[in-house]
C-alpha cells in the first residue's frame, strides 16, 4: 500500500529505461488496485507487465470492495498475486480461499502467482516442510496439469519479510525443493519441472545474485527493494 498516482508515474518513468535492455527476465509490477489501469497504460510498449496484488474468486456479485478476475482482464492485467502472507495474516485468507482464487485466475486466463511460506513459530517448531506441503497441496486441489501450465509459486518465509532477515540460499533452496516435490505429487514431474518458483523474503541488490544461483530458485518476489526504481532495477538486472 504505497505510492500516489504521481509517484506511480515517476516510478515508471525512472524504472523503464533502466530495464529496457533486459530480455532475460519476465518483469512484473504489482501496484495498489486503484492504479492498475494507470500503470497498465504507462507500461504499454515496454517489456514490463502489470499484476494485481490480490483478487476475488467471483466473477461478480455483492462483494463490496473486491476486484474480480473479470475486471482485471478488462483492464488488461495479465497477472494476479494470490495468498500473499499479508493477505493471510491480516485479511483472513486461507489455503481454501487461495485454491478458489487460483481456479478463478486460471479460468479467466490470468497468470497466478501463488504465495506460500511458514511463520517463524512454524519454522522453529520444525514444521516448515509440513506447512509448505499443505499449502501447495490445498492450493492445487482439483486443478489439472493442463490448467497449471502458467502457474507460478512464490515462497515467502514470513519471518524474512520486512525484517531485514533473509533465508540463506541453502534454506531457500531446501524449501523450493519441498515445493517442487509437492507440485510433482499433485500434478506430475513435468509440471513441477516447468513451474517457476520465486523466492520472496527481503530480496535486495546485494543478495539477489547468490539466491538466483540456486537450482530451484527461478525468480524473485520483491517487496521493499521494489519501491525504489534504481534499487529494483539492480535486482532485475542482477549479473548484468
- 176 part of the active site: no
Report the SS3 class of residue 31: coil
Catalytic pick among 42, 118, 156, 182? 156
Catalytic pick among 40, 42, 84, 118? 84
Query: At CA 134, angle to CA 133 and CA 137, rounded to 5?
Result: 80
If 0-12 CB within 10 Å is exposed, 13-18 middle and 19+ buried, where does residue 23 land? exposed
Report the SS3 class of residue 123: helix
Sheet holding 111-116, edge to edge: 27-29, 48-52, 79-82, 111-116, 152-155, 196-199, 219-220
- 40 part of the active site: no
If 0-12 CB within 10 Å is exposed, 13-18 middle and 19+ buried, where does residue 92 land? exposed
- Which residues touch 44 (CB under 8 Å, ≥6 apart)? none
CB 114 within 8 A of CB 82: yes
CA 142 to centroid of chain Cα atoms: 21
List, by residue number, the catalytic residues.
84, 156
Amino acid at each position: 500500500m504505497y505510492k500516489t498516482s504521481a509517484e506511480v508515474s515517476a516510478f515508471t518513468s525512472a524504472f523503464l529505461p533502466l530495464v529496457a535492455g533486459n530480455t532475460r527476465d519476465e518483469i512484473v509490477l504489482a501496484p495498489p488496485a486503484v492504479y492498475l489501469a494507470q500503470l497498465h497504460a504507462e507500461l504499454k510498449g515496454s517489456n514490463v507487465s502489470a499484476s494485481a496484488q490480490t483478487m476475488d474468486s467471483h466473477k461478480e456479485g455483492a462483494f463490496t470492495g473486491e476486484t474480480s478476475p473479470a475486471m482485471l482482464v478488462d483492464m488488461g492485467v495479465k497477472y494476479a498475486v494470490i495468498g500473499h502472507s499479508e493477505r493471510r495474516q491480516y485479511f483472513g485468507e486461507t489455503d481454501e480461499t487461495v485454491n478458489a482464487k487460483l481456479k478463478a485466475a486460471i479460468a479467466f486466463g490470468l497468470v497466478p502467482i501463488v504465495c506460500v511460506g511458514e511463520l517463524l513459530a512454524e519454522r522453529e517448531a520444525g514444521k516448515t516442510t509440513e506447512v509448505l506441503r499443505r499449502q501447495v497441496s490445498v492450493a492445487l486441489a482439483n486443478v489439472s496439469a493442463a490448467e497449471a501450465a502458467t502457474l507460478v509459486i512464490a515462497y515467502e518465509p514470513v519471518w524474512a519479510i520486512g525484517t531485514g532477515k533473509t533465508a540463506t540460499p541453502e534454506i531457500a533452496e531446501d524449501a523450493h525443493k519441498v515445493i517442487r516435490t509437492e507440485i510433482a505429487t499433485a500434478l506430475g514431474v513435468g509440471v513441477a519441472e516447468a513451474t517457476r518458483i520465486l523466492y520472496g523474503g527481503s530480496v535486495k541488490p546485494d543478495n539477489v545474485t547468490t539466491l538466483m544461483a540456486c537450482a530451484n530458485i527461478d525468480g524473485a518476489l520483491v517487496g521493499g527493494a521494489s519501491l525504489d526504481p534504481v534499487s529494483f532495477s539492480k535486482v532485475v538486472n542482477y549479473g548484468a
